Amino acid sequence: MSIAPDRSPMISVLDYGCGNIQSVIRMLEKVGGEAVKISTPAEVQNAQVLILPGVGAFDHGMVELAARGLDRTLDRIAVEGRVPILGICLGMQLMCKGSHEGSLPGLGWFNARATRFPDAAQTGLPVPHMGWNTLRTVKENPLLPHDEEEQRYYFVHSYRIHCEDSNDIVATCDYGSEFVAAFQRGNLFGVQFHPEKSHRFGMAMMRRFIEWVHVKA
């Protein structure tokens, strides 16, 4: 499908029963994007750009994707179609090979796994990691530029991602120890935080996402 040069592609937000889809759509529309909720393999196959949001448990997310026949279609558009995809929170973790939270394999697009934060008895920090925290951008990327003095985002998660390939890491954050807050490989991007809950910081990131997919289109 061709896209007019002055118009960004429609952004599909995947509803697989694991997240507040409407808050993501509202944020995209607020910053000038066009977004639609999708839920079927046919809709995924036709997506120009896709956001994979999510909250909840890893295995539950993978079960819901498989039950709807979405996992194989996602793999086709991500790997073969090279459709731009942004994973948010659980969506980012599902892009990995797996999680210590469960036993099912993930989508496997990144050589990475999610591991639980140490218990509060060890660090003095409550789990889940919930609230605002500051990012450190570690490589050039289209969504989280180096030149911003401060980048603060809202997190809610009990599991943190470990990347086997450090070249995939875009940004880190500290909560007792350093963890991966964002990663990217080609057309695939994931963030552990919730941009749709991160006010002006999230709005700025979503604007850059729209600009990025417009250029790629």
Catalytic residues: 89, 194, 196
In whole angstroms, what is the distance from residue 45 CA to residue 195 CA?
Answer: 25
Contact 8, 213 (CB under 8 A): yes
Q: Where are the alpha helices (DSSP H) in 9-57?
A: 21-30, 41-45
Could you tell me if 91 and 144 are in contact, meaning their C-beta atoms sit under 8 angstroms apart? no
For 76, the 3-state DSSP assignment is helix
Distance of alpha carbon 7 from alpha carbon 174, whole angstroms = 38
